[in-house]
Structure 1
Amino acid sequence: MARAKNILFIMFDQLRWDYLSCYGHPHLKTPHLDRLAARGVRFTRCYVQSPVCGASRMSTYTGRYVHSHGASYNNFPLRVGEQTLGDHLRKIGVECWLVGKTHMKADAEGMARLGLASDSVIGARVAECGFDAWVREDGLHGEGPAGLYDTKRSPYNEYLKSQGYGGHNPWHDHANSGVAGGEVASGWLMKNAPLAAHIHEEDSETPWLTDRAMEFMAAKAGGAPWLCHLSYIKPHWPYIVPAPYHDMFGPEHVSPVVRDARERQDPHPIYRAFMENLIGRSFSRDEVRDAVIPAYMGLIKQCDDQMGRLFRWMEETGAMEDTLIVATSDHGDYLGDHWLGEKDLFHEPSVKVPLIVYDPAPEADATRGTVCDELVEQIDLAATFVDHHGAPVPDHVLEGRSLLPFLRGEQPEWREFAISEYDYSTAPMADELGVAPRDARLFMVADKRWKFMHAEGGFRPMLFDMDADPQEFRDLGGDPEYADIVAMMRARLAKWARRMSQRTALSDAAVLAIRGKTMESGILIGVHDGEEIPAKFHAAYHGPVRPLPERE
């Protein structure tokens, strides 16, 4: 089977699944990602394993559930010893590179305990989530009374300064702010979203990362096989975009909000707490949505235009014919739906993401332009990348499943339900609810009809019938009529929690190779006189008596 030599793994940050025209957006046209979908397979039920940047990405990069790797929120360290894409791919001769964002925090204490210097090759890889960093830029350079949010070196700020942009933080003053009355109009203030970012468009974050990706691919042409994780910072907030994208869309292009008064009638306590936080209150205002969403759409339009630029370059250089391309997101954005902003909970705008996979191999010709409705988890990508290169998937480590059969027109035995998790222990809502850090955890179980949320801490569940109520307005979790469904979903969660997830040092094959072999090493447990077992197992234990050494 002819396989593409390389993998381009594209991730956008906070891109909703339904904000691409190939997924049905009525006003936002994304022809370049649409064209990729027409050449590949578009998945309609892809769920991230946590609806927040850091935890979602750590699951995607390790191929493991949050429950397994433990980095359950932003800036929670990924512990030393967790294997990542880089570990699995380098083992089979494939380089693994980063261009852009990971939101990964290194386990500095674990590295120090093991004597791993961050400037060594292995230490740098551990500190960069397993990637070799062509350029790492998380694009979160906020600044407040406590100082900078991200104190790491910013290659993007260095680039802007080299181009003549002033100040110590041009990421904010130029790329993520506009100008009003001769003053900086910060993109952190959503009222400024309709303004043009005070930067030349070609110097903004998205084109800058596209340049770095083409730079990488040009440098690696003709070399060893590689995976390049091209991880864009946008359309993540601050919601502000340079001209000409800032005024391409207006309030008339904003889709009707998906929310209902029923959601506010005796809501689940955790849901209520998120609706009533600052973000929820802001995005429940129409003037906020009318300002923010056109800018969000402009950011996505800029991303798609950069895809057109990138894909044209790949076609001109021949890279398109030899590269598997994946395009997805790390989570969505509520944008006021369900009286919420940001992400965090498990409604579709938050936890479901777009996923497009293009495979240039002839074996994928039969599925070009098709749609797959199976329950996909984003941890499936790690297994897919290993399988793509013809290596056995180490399923004692990787908890996802390869998607290659769907690209080949096959119908593999597949999962019954998908899982996502959320740790809100650092959020003020946990204090308001009186929930201890260890109990501030949510779990989603979703099949093709039902979506269930379990909350630790003694709360009732949430439940939605996605057939009868696809907009997720009516929470059935407390309705006795649906007690059997709740019990079924609880049983599924319990089954998932009992999976083999921590025996990562030995595969099933290695365990089977050990099974029953202890006697061959002379370990005889439960043997009475030797007649019960073949003589070869105790042959070394017979023979003439050896004399004792003499003692005075």
Structure 2
Amino acid sequence: MAKNVLFIMCDQLRWDYLSCAGHPHLDTPHIDALAKRGVRFDRAYVQSTICGPSRMSFYTGRYVSSHGSTWNNIPLKVGEMTLGDHLRPLGVRTALCGKTHMSADVEGMKRLGLAPDSEIGALVSECGFEPYERDDGLHPSARKKKRNENYKDYMKDKGWEDENPWESVANSGEDEDGNLLSGWFLDNSDQAARAEEEDSETPYITRRAMDFIQEAGDTPWCLHLSYIKPHWPYIVPEPYHDMYGPQTHQPILRKDAEQENPHPIFKAFMEERVSKAFTNDATRAKVIGAYMGLIKQIDDQTGALMAFLDEQGIADDTMIIFTSDHGDYLGDHWMGEKELFHDPSARIPLIVVDPSPEADKTRGTVSDALVEAIDVVPTILDFYDGPELGHIIEGQSLRPLLNGETDALRDFVISEYDYSFRRARRKLGVDVKDANLTMLYDGRWKYIFADGFRPMLFDLQEDPNEFVDLGADPAYEAECARLNGLLFQWSRRISQRTTISNAEIEKRGVYMSEAKSGIVIGFATEEDYNDALSRMGEPEE
């Protein structure tokens, strides 16, 4: 049988909103079943805490400062290798059902003469994926339809005559008088979406994934099934809309002390409109009820999808990866949305089911190894026995952890955030070029470097909820200096030399590789040159 990979990504799903991760009231048996079949990585972190750059790191296996797509709608430049670029030469059909948040490098493609509707141009425009069904989830009426984006047409075929049924049906409710209650507004989150459950976005994209799998047949495939929920608009159809009342909600993680002399950047983000909205307990309760309902719907669809794989007889040959592109503050730390680096935002669920016999010894276990989003690409490439590409891919294969060969891959994880587009930057008077944040977390200490400001520092051993910022405390200057040294070491890595491997550089040598080409440098006499040629292949001095 052919090897297959099902790479499932949710959008804005927190690491702790699964029952297998400890949520006491949100039962997710089908996702939990994946954890029992594989390994749940309990300390997985994204490379950026916002959709676009996080996903570009997932798809390239490279840090944000390496691939350069630092915020939503900043194009991934032409030439960046992606998962599909690595898998297609191995004969693996690499396709997308759902979201990528990819913005094509239109200027770069134009410069190189790549037409967006050509075979190569389409792949470059879609993050290296064959766009079997594209659905980024945001469908304002004025936005131009993207390639193979069919959900609105599907809804119209179901009889909805609305100009934009994505917005007015799938993501709106209605009152007793038939007035629309838009899901864009947080206080409408407790309404049932107008769409029938089977016609809402999560079941629709699941069925499209099944269509692809049936169509692919015996061809090895890697399918990126990318759900656009539980990302806002926070609204879900019956019966999920009222499953989770306030009694099922986790206690809010925030303290008044966080607002007393906070770090200037943290303060600016706490003052953002969305953060202020989540300080209203009634609004927050409505959002969390819908958020939990959206996750429950994803879990139910995961169950349907796993049953389908069993029916097709391919479950035992398919690697399954389940994850999210970032979390959601949901009012924790006086914040809404994501973007900063507290665990509700930067930490993600990550479950990997490797069907290989070598992984049997770790099935059903939980790993506390520090892992990153960039580890997904090398893990998939490793599964297909692809080449080691350390000069391009900065992540590390998770298979040594899955096979029980080691219990750690790295000493720290990195996440980066470009806040130049945010209102907070302007409020702080920070230049665009300086609006950069970098987090380094070593398993105990979480250190955030902020250009032009003091650092932030949290001790997650003594303060697991990250309430106390120690970055301004003189008693922790030495700890900050140590972590800053690690960050400086990491920042000096060579990440742009992607056209030649380290092994090839080692193989070529220096002086004698030039000498073989007739370029004679550094020899005093012809006798010295001839003597060196006679010793070709020996280690160079």
TM-score scaled by length of structure 1: 0.94
Is contact 1:522–1:537 with CA below 8 Å preserved after alignment? no
Cα separation, partners in 2 of 1:375 and 1:413, compared to 1, 3 Å = closer
Give the counterpart letter for 1:463 in structure 2. Answer: L
- Alignment of 1:186 with 2:182, yes or no, is yes
Measure the CA separation in 1 of the matches of 2:2 and 2:431.
49
Give the counterpart letter for 2:514 in structure 1. Answer: T
- Alignment of 1:308 with 2:303, yes or no, is yes
Measure the CA separation in 2 of the matches of 1:159 and 1:515.
59
Is contact 2:2–2:218 with CA below 8 Å preserved after alignment? no
Is contact 1:4–1:359 with CA below 8 Å preserved after alignment? no
Is contact 2:26–2:296 with CA below 8 Å preserved after alignment? yes
Corresponding residue of 1:470: 464
Q: Choose 165-174 or 525-534, whichever is displaced more.
A: 525-534
- Alignment of 1:359 with 2:354, yes or no, is yes
Q: How does 1:364-443 map to 2 (within 5 A)?
A: 364-411=359-406, 414-443=409-438
Corresponding residue of 1:544: none
Q: How does 1:225-244 map to 2 (within 5 A)?
A: 225-244=220-239
SS across alignment from 1:19: coil
Please report how far the alpha carbon of residue 536 of structure 1 lies from its aligned counterpart in structure 2 after TM superposition: 7.8
Measure the CA separation in 2 of the matches of 1:265 and 1:241.
37
- Alignment of 1:461 with 2:461, yes or no, is no
Corresponding residue of 2:123: 125
Which of 69, 72, 90 is residue 71 of structure 1 equivalent to?
A: 69
Corresponding residue of 1:260: 255
- Alignment of 1:287 with 2:282, yes or no, is yes
Measure the CA separation in 1 of the matches of 2:3 and 2:326.
28
Which of 195, 207, 210 is residue 214 of structure 1 equivalent to?
A: 210
Which of 501, 508, 522 is residue 526 of structure 1 equivalent to?
A: 522
Corresponding residue of 1:513: 507
SS across alignment from 2:352: strand
Query: How high is the sequence identity, in percent, across the aligned residues?
Result: 56
Give the counterpart letter for 2:488 in structure 1. Answer: A
Please report how far the alpha carbon of residue 535 of structure 1 lies from its aligned counterpart in structure 2 after TM superposition: 5.2
Deviations 1:356-398 (A, max 9, x none): 0011222211111001100000100101011111122201000
Is contact 1:95–1:227 with CA below 8 Å preserved after alignment? yes
SS across alignment from 1:533: helix
TM-score scaled by length of structure 2: 0.96
Q: Which runs of 5+ in 2 are unaligned?
A: 535-541
Please report how far the alpha carbon of residue 4 of structure 1 lies from its aligned counterpart in structure 2 after TM superposition: 6.8
Is contact 2:401–2:408 with CA below 8 Å preserved after alignment? no
SS across alignment from 1:210: helix
Measure the CA separation in 1 of the matches of 2:226 and 2:334.
29
Which of 494, 497, 511 is residue 500 of structure 1 equivalent to?
A: 494
Is contact 1:48–1:330 with CA below 8 Å preserved after alignment? yes
Please report how far the alpha carbon of residue 414 of structure 1 lies from its aligned counterpart in structure 2 after TM superposition: 2.1
Is contact 2:371–2:409 with CA below 8 Å preserved after alignment? no
Please report how far the alpha carbon of residue 412 of structure 1 lies from its aligned counterpart in structure 2 after TM superposition: 6.2
Is contact 1:4–1:360 with CA below 8 Å preserved after alignment? no
Deviations 1:121-170 (A, max 9, x none): 11000000000111111011135xxx44x653641111111111121210
Deviations 1:89-115 (A, max 9, x none): 112221211011000000000000000
Corresponding residue of 2:197: 201
Deviations 1:165-211 (A, max 9, x none): 12121000000000013111000111111110001110000000010
Q: How does 1:30-49 map to 2 (within 5 A)?
A: 30-49=28-47
Cα separation, partners in 2 of 1:431 and 1:536, compared to 1, 3 Å = closer
Corresponding residue of 1:85: 83
Measure the CA separation in 1 of the matches of 2:150 and 2:419.
31
SS across alignment from 1:373: strand
Please report how far the alpha carbon of residue 533 of structure 1 lies from its aligned counterpart in structure 2 after TM superposition: 2.6
Measure the CA separation in 2 of the matches of 1:266 and 1:470.
20
Measure the CA separation in 2 of the matches of 1:253 and 1:168.
37
Is contact 1:452–1:461 with CA below 8 Å preserved after alignment? yes
Give the counterpart letter for 1:505 in structure 2. Answer: T
RMSD: 1.3
Please report how far the alpha carbon of residue 344 of structure 1 lies from its aligned counterpart in structure 2 after TM superposition: 0.4
Please report how far the alpha carbon of residue 453 of structure 1 lies from its aligned counterpart in structure 2 after TM superposition: 0.4
Deviations 1:318-366 (A, max 9, x none): 1211100000000000000000010000000000000000112222111
SS across alignment from 1:356: strand
Q: How many residues align?
A: 530
The runs of 4+ residues in structure 1 deviating greater than 6 Å are: none
- Alignment of 1:158 with 2:153, yes or no, is yes
Q: Which runs of 5+ in 1 are unaligned?
A: 539-552
